[in-house]
Amino acid sequence: MQTEDWMRESEDVTLDRNELWAETEELADLIMQAPEIQAFHDAEARLKANPQALSMMNRLRELQEQIGEFRARNVPPMHFVHLMQESESLLEKLETLPEVAAFQRAQTDVNDLLQSVTSRLAQAVLQRVDGNDVSAAHAGEDTDAS
């Protein structure tokens, strides 16, 4: 009999998790509508439309791969210092491009949004775990607002 109870409880948890995942997808859809996400997509499109920026980013990626290979083989830096210098110089030039600066700002804004959502979710869960469930108070607010 205990095994059957455990199996039923396990099924209930699975159903709850499936519902949780569905709600997560809905939250993701809501987040995708945020102005920060649209700004990110716009900045990304402008960056990809700049051939100079793309060329510089490709070269930077190549340099970083080469530097990584040298480091992985424990080659003394004096043998690839010219690659590190070129990489640093290229990065400095990239950061002066308005499209790159806008993309970096947009990326930071999206990260801040996601961090805020994560923090608020964690706070809401902790409130409920601690017995300070404020959902009833919020439900009353929603009813009053209708």
Each residue's pLDDT tens digit in the chain (146 positions)? Answer: 555 665 555 555 566 888 889 999 999 999 999 999 999 999 999 999 999 999 999 999 999 999 999 999 999 999 999 999 999 999 999 999 999 999 999 999 999 999 999 999 999 999 988 886 555 445 444 444 33
CA 138 to chain centre: 29
Output the pLDDT for position 7: 55
Output the pLDDT for position 15: 65
CATH number for the domain that contains residue 43: 1.20.1500.10
pTM, entire model? 0.70
Are 117 and 26 in contact by the 8 Å Cβ rule? The answer is no
Find, among 57, 46, 59, 64, the residue nearest to 105 by Cα: 46
Number of domains in the chain: 1
List the structure tokens of 127.
């409130």
Give me the domain span that covers residue 16. 2-145
